[in-house]
């Protein structure tokens, strides 16, 4: 059985529910005809930059990952919350174009890729090593000149710079120019440029990607400026409100075929007692955009999101791994191979010490993940991971399974029990909180009749508010020695 799509059993309001639940931050979107394509940041995880397809902006299917080779993203060399930062995805002259920043690449600068099919393969990068900063954007002026607009950290200034480039000759054509320093808030970043009518609009993020996050806009008659800021900036924010979606910003706009506009943006869903805790990372949300006096006005999207579109059951019988599977260490194709009964996961170290394992993002309010494995003589761990030093897991070795909690430098070994006969189902579950946090995490083993819960742990310690960084939770399996056969993984999200 190959990975099967879920039945569409329920819907949620797009004003408060993400269109992509889980760690899918910094969304960038483009439209080709009736179809939409979207890319996200991926940080240390490989393969990098998930690529999505939709026809309605609320039902999305992952069609691939853009960065699948070492020449694009050297796997296993980026520690937690580093690696691949915010991309921009565009379509121009029959090609898809992707620009992003790998902040750990020795080649430096922003990197540009192209593909005829957004599902891949994507080209080797054009590296703009002369440029500093992050969050690059691609657009083309009326003469067809490509402009890269980005967040610059040059010298003592932070703001938005721009430079013309020749993609065919791989040349930067001019000295970078400052075009806007924002409205005076911190961290002017995430720029995107759009043409609408006679004007060009520069949309940026400000305030940092935490609770003060906002969207601001300026406009000009030229993509090179000078830019006039909207008098009512910020044009979109949830700061200092009780809205269930916080940290909103880093928006990218798209025009629908009927001439109306929408925006995708990142947000978080903090829960629990103050300061409240978000655990899924920054997720992708949808807004409607209405133009008032030739300025964009963000409004709640009047759409419904399928609540079960992330559920899956995978028995790994397909010839290739589903694109949902990623690794914080080496790429999966270096330590995973097919077997008649599932996939074999081996042990391959990474330069950073991050585990080379099969991981998938989690995202619901509450959820359950079952890993059906043949332990054999391997030593391995099934775990929920926020980063390399914040995870809860089930460690299997020597015929026993042990619940383990890693919180910073402290590793706690909790209850252990003998393994039942093979295969065995190891279960990680997010459930209702008992410690005023976002959730509790249960670590258990299914013995065929019931779940033996070895530990129930406070979910706050696997949150961004505790661990810091830019990522969210993933659940997966890695080995410390020998191999383990993973027969099947089932994952389902439940809304509280």
Q: Which CATH number covers residue 344?
A: 2.60.120.200
* Confidence (pLDDT) at 170: 87
Tens digit of each residue's pLDDT (9 = 90 or more) over 433-457: 999 999 999 999 997 778 999 999 9
The residue out of 289, 306, 323 marking a domain boundary is 306
DSSP state string for 251-290 = EEEEE-TTS-EEEEEEEE--BSSTT-B--S-SEEEEEEEE
- As annotated, the active-site residues are 26, 189
**pLDDT per residue over 28-79, tens digit each?**
999 999 999 999 999 999 999 999 999 999 999 999 999 999 999 999 999 9
- Indicate whether 19 and 119 sit together in one domain: yes
Nearest in space to 86 (alpha carbons), one of 210, 227, 251: 251
Give residue 398's pLDDT. 92
Look at residue 4 and tell me whether its pLDDT is greater than 50.
no
H-run or E-run covering 466: helix 464-467
Residue 1 lies in a domain: no
Look at the chain and report how many structural domains it folds into: 2
Residue 3 banded pLDDT, cuts 50, 70, 90: very low
CA distance 458 to 20: 25
pLDDT at 421 (0 to 100): 82
Mean pLDDT in residue range 378-385: 96
Mark whether 328 and 257 lie in a shared domain: no
Q: Which domain holds residue 394?
A: 312-494
Q: Specify whether the CB–CB gap between 206 and 144 falls below 8 A.
A: no
> What percentage of the chain carries pLDDT values higher than 70?
98
227 in the same domain as 93: yes
155-192 pLDDT tens trace: 778 899 999 999 888 899 999 999 999 999 999 999 99
| Those residues with Cβ within 8 angstroms of residue 214's Cβ, 6 or more apart along the chain or in another chain | 185, 205, 206, 207, 233, 234, 236, 237, 239, 248, 249
Instruction: Look at residue 112 and tell me if it is in a domain.
Output: yes
**Which residue, 306, 326, 351, sits at the end of a domain?**
306
Q: Supply the CATH number for residue 271's domain.
A: 2.115.10.20
User: Do both 326 and 265 map to the same domain?
Assistant: no
Sheet holding 246-255, edge to edge: 246-255, 261-268, 283-292, 295-300
In a domain, 70, yes or no: yes
Query: Same domain, yes or no, for 269 and 341?
Result: no
Pair (242, 347) in one structural domain:
no
Rounded distance between C-alpha atoms, residue 327 and residue 48, angstroms: 9
Average pLDDT over residues 295-317: 93
Same structural domain for residues 369 and 257? no
- Domain identity same for 104 and 241: yes
**pLDDT tens sequence across 220-273:** 999 999 999 999 999 999 999 999 999 999 999 999 999 999 999 999 999 999
Domain co-membership, 253 together with 346: no
Spatial neighbors of 356 by CB under 8 A, at least 6 apart, are: 76, 327, 328, 329, 330, 334, 335, 347, 348, 349, 350, 478
Q: Is residue 6 part of a domain?
A: no
pLDDT-based confidence at residue 11 (cuts at 50, 70, 90): confident
Q: What is the largest CA-CA distance in the chain?
A: 71
Same-domain check for residues 234 and 380 = no
- Write down the pTM of the prediction: 0.96
Residue 2 domain flag? no
327 and 233 co-located in one domain? no
322 pLDDT above the threshold of 80: yes
> Does any domain span residue 4?
no
Q: List phi, psi (to 5°) of 467.
A: -85, -25
Claim to verify: residue 201 and residue 321 sit in the same structural domain: no
User: Is it true that the peptide bond before 92 is cis, omega within 30 degrees of 0?
Assistant: no
Q: Would 68 be classed as within a structural domain? A: yes
Strands 366-374 and 48-54: unpaired
Buried b (16+ CB within 10 A) or exposed e, 428-437: bbbbebeeeb
Pairwise CA distance, residues 464 & 280, whole Å:
9
Q: Is residue 229 part of a domain?
A: yes
Last residue of a domain, which of 306, 333, 353?
306
Q: Which residues lie closer than 8 Å to 444 by C-beta, 6 or more apart?
A: 394, 426, 427, 429, 451, 452, 453, 454
Mean pLDDT of the chain: 94
């Amino acid at each position: 059985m190959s990975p099967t799509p879920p039945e569409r059993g329920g819907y949620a309001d797009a004003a408060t529910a993400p269109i992509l639940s889980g760690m899918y931050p910094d969304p960038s979107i483009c439209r080709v005809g009736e179809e939409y394509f979207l890319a996200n940041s991926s940080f240390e995880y490989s393969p990098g930059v998930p690529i999505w397809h939709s026809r309605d902006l609320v039902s999305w299917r992952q069609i691939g990952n853009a960065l699948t080779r070492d020449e694009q993203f050297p796997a296993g060399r980026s520690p937690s919350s580093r690696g691949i930062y915010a991309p921009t995805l565009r379509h121009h002259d029959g090609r898809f174009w992707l620009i992003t920043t790998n902040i750990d690449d020795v080649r430096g600068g922003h990197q540009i890729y192209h593909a005829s099919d957004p599902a891949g393969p994507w080209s080797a990068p054009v590296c703009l090593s002369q440029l500093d900063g992050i969050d690059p954007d691609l657009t083309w002026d009326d003469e067809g000149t490509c402009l890269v607009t980005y967040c610059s950290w040059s010298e003592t200034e932070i703001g938005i710079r721009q430079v013309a480039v020749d993609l065919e000759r791989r040349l930067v054509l001019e000295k970078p120019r400052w075009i806007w320093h924002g409205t005076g808030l911190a961290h002017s970043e995430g720029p995107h440029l759009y043409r609408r009518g006679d004007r060009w609009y520069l949309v940026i993020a400000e305030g940092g990607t935490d609770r003060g996050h906002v969207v601001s806009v300026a406009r000009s008659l030229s993509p090179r400026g000078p830019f006039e800021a909207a008098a009512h900036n910020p044009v979109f924010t949830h700061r200092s409100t009780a809205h269930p979606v916080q940290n909103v910003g880093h928006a990218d706009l798209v025009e629908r075929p009927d001439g109306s506009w929408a925006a995708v943006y990142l947000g978080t869903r903090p829960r629990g007692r103050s300061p409240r805790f978000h655990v899924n990372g920054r997720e992708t949300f949808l807004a409607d955009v209405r133009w008032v006096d030739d300025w964009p006005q963000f409004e709640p999207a009047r759409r419904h999101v399928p609540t079960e579109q992330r559920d899956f059951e995978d028995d790994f019988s397909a010839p290739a791994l589903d694109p949902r599977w990623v690794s914080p260490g080496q790429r999966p194709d270096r330590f995973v191979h097919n077997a008649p009964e599932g996939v074999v996961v081996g042990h391959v170290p990474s330069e950073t010490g991050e585990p080379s394992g099969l991981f998938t993002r989690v995202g619901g309010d509450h959820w359950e993940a079952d890993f059906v494995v043949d332990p054999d003589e391997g030593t391995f761990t099934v775990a929920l991971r926020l980063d390399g030093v914040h995870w809860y897991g089930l460690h299997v070795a020597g015929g026993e399974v042990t619940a383990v909690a890693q919180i910073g430098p402290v590793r706690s070994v909790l209850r252990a029990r003998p393994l039942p006969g093979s295969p065995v189902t190891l279960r990680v579950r997010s459930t209702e909180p008992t410690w005023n946090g976002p959730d509790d995490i249960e670590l258990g083993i299914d013995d065929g009749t019931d779940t033996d819960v070895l530990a129930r742990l406070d979910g706050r310690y696997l949150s961004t508010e505790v661990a810091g960084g830019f990522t969210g939770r993933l659940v997966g399996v890695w080995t410390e020695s020998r191999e383990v056969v993973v027969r099947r993984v089932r994952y389902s999200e439940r809304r509280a």
